[in-house]
Amino acid sequence: MTKDTIAAISTPTGVGAIGIVRLSGSACRDILKKVWINPNHPVDKFETHRLYYGMLSTPQDGVKQVKQDGVKSIDNVLAVWMQEPRSYTGEDIVEIHCHGGSVATKSILEAVLNSGARPALPGEFTRRAFLNGRLDLAQAEAVAEVINATSERALRLANEQLNGRLSGEINNAQGKLKELIVSIEAAIDFPEEDIEIIKNEQIENGLKNILERLSSLSMTYHEGKMIHDGVRVIIVGKPNVGKSSILNALVGSDRAIVHHSPGTTRDIIEEDVEIDGMKFRLIDTAGIRNSTCEIEQMGIKRARMRLSEADCALVVLDASNFADEEDKAIICETKNLKRIFILNKIDLCPTAETDSIFKSRAETNIKTSAKTGLGLDELKKALSSAAVANSSSVGEGVIITNLRHKQALDEAAGAINNGIAAIAKKESPEFIAVHIKLAMTNLGKITGEVTSEDVLNEIFDKFCIGK
């Protein structure tokens, strides 16, 4: 267990009702004694996990627990001591709950630092929780995911990982691999004993079952990344079809300038919106057409560049006009994307139907009026459906959102494939065991059973200070 005691402000900067200064380490109670004033409730008499009211002051001797001349009071506070190991970090923790605002929290932090604590590093509280066995590495990473979640679904996924759902999957796979290793090594070490020798066919079937599950888990990364980062939806179409109006209608505010003059939008405009618990990043682009205007050409070039980064495209068409060559060119440029066709300005032409070139397409076709709001609910439902299309894992299985986890899963799957190949080549059991052990090692990288100081630094340096 780490010997020094760390301290940090654990609430955001700025004005607020409550601010929290947190300490962790064996000396946190002794440090609190030096700044605590309440003779009726001395720190030595604190019961664990119970809040006490008192005053925080500049450091004093802490013996009499009464206010001394020259001692400067800082704030009236509530303090709680959580005795190890029943705390977040697995160490003794003290939390001081003061009035919100940068002055009070910074003054209290300064007081406890002057009393023997040192400033916590980014993520050091969670790092100690990992090192002290309160969380495995996947759960520790989920803490940051919970804090940074930008949508309801991202928060739900992060909480599932924090509660050990991913870790359970990994531990289950490791357990099955370990069973195979034990059987193989028993046959190697005691060839003349009366031990049932596992057959290569059984090993192969076991490895294939594990490989199937790990591969399925790895394949959820793309979906998980969309949930974590948001679905990137690019709005494309020729000028003056209502792309910016669609963006404004979905966002619910006049985010983009709208004018009847073609080519109003010159630069990329991005805005986030949450639909059915999922974050969508809407990307409004310049109208794509042949233009002699140098500035408009730059906007069109940027629009085309962003096509390759999008997860989905809203192809906007004008209800008052049949598709022309510019529309057809845009349709061709977006053919590799998941698309939703929007027949906009339907209020101007209520009887309009999509052109024959769209009727035969499998993509969703929606009639909208960004001006009146007609069709917007249907468009939101289509976006939500597009986000989870071809996915059976939402709400059912584990979804990974972390590239580090995907890489470890893929490396483990590669080792298992090598083990299966070794069986096919009738290699000796020792070689098969090596591949299985490598797979277990790679899975251990996810939960932190196998890790390095550099990996830990890379993970926890991304955390905020105070968590």
Determine whether 108 is exposed, middle or buried from the number of CB atoms within 10 Å of its CB (0-12, 13-18, 19+). buried
pTM for this one? 0.80
Q: What is the C-alpha to C-alpha distance for residues 75 and 84, in angstroms, rounded to an integer?
A: 27
Q: What is the C-alpha to C-alpha distance for residues 285 and 44, in angstroms, rounded to an integer?
A: 64
How distant is the alpha carbon of residue 352 from its chain centre?
Answer: 43
Contact 278, 381 (CB under 8 A): no
User: How far, in Å, are 38, 106, 256, 258, 281 from residue 264 at the CA level?
Assistant: 66, 48, 10, 7, 21
Of 286, 290, 340, the closest CA to residue 317 belongs to: 340
The long-range contacts involving 14-17, CB below 8 angstroms and separated by at least 24 positions, are 14/101, 14/102, 15/100, 15/101, 15/102, 16/100, 16/101, 17/99, 17/100
Contact 125, 466 (CB under 8 A): yes
What is the residue-wise DSSP string for 151-175? SHHHHHHHHHHHTTHHHHHHHHHHH
Helix, strand and coil content of the chain, in percent to the nearest 5, comes to 45, 15, 40
Counting Cα atoms < 13 Å in the Cβ hemisphere of 255 gives 21
Bond before 191 cis per omega within 30 degrees: no
- Sign of the C-alpha dihedral computed for residues 89, 93, 96 and 97 taken in this order: positive
- pLDDT value for 227: 87
What is the residue-wise DSSP string for 172-233? HHHHHHHHHHHHHHHHHH-TTSS-PPPPHHHHHHHHHHHHHHHHHHHTTHHHHHHHHH-EEE
**SS3 assignment, position 142:** helix
- pLDDT value for 63: 41
What are the backbone angles phi and psi of residue 209, rounded to the nearest 5°?
Answer: -65, -40
Centre a 10 Å sphere on the Cβ of residue 284 and count the other Cβ atoms it contains.
Answer: 25
- pLDDT value for 259: 44
Q: What is the C-alpha to C-alpha distance for residues 407 and 218, in angstroms, rounded to an integer?
A: 8
**Angle formed by the axes of helices 152-162 and 221-229, nearest 10°:** 120
pLDDT in tens, the chain (467 residues): 457 999 999 998 878 889 999 999 999 999 999 999 999 999 999 999 999 999 999 887 544 444 445 567 899 999 999 999 999 999 999 999 999 888 999 999 999 999 999 999 999 999 999 999 999 999 999 999 999 888 898 999 999 999 999 999 999 999 999 999 988 887 776 655 555 556 788 899 999 999 999 999 999 998 888 888 889 998 888 888 888 888 888 888 666 544 454 444 446 788 888 998 889 988 887 665 555 565 555 666 666 777 778 888 888 888 877 777 888 888 888 888 888 998 888 887 766 665 544 554 556 788 888 888 898 999 999 888 877 654 444 445 789 999 999 999 999 999 999 999 999 998 888 899 999 999 999 999 999 998 889 888 888 888 888 88
- pLDDT value for 165: 94
Judging by DSSP bridges, how do beta strands 93-99 and 18-24 pair with one another?
antiparallel
Contact 234, 307 (CB under 8 A): yes
Structural domains in the chain, sorted by start = 6-120 (3.30.1360.120), 143-220+399-460 (1.20.120.430), 230-387 (3.40.50.300)
Q: What DSSP state is assigned to residue 120?
A: P
- pLDDT value for 254: 66
For the sheet with 269-275, list strands across it: 269-275, 278-284, 231-236, 312-318, 338-344, 364-367
For residue 269, give the H/E element and its range.
strand 269-275
Counting Cα atoms < 13 Å in the Cβ hemisphere of 253 gives 5
Residues in the chain: 467
Q: What is the C-alpha to C-alpha distance for residues 221 and 397, in angstroms, rounded to an integer?
A: 12
**Angle formed by the axes of helices 165-189 and 200-218, nearest 10°:** 160
Contact 268, 302 (CB under 8 A): yes
What is the residue-wise DSSP string for 355-422? -HHHHT-SSEEEE--TTT-TTHHHHHHHHHHHHTTT---TTTS-----HHHHHHHHHHHHHHHHHHHH
Residue with tokens 């101007």: 348
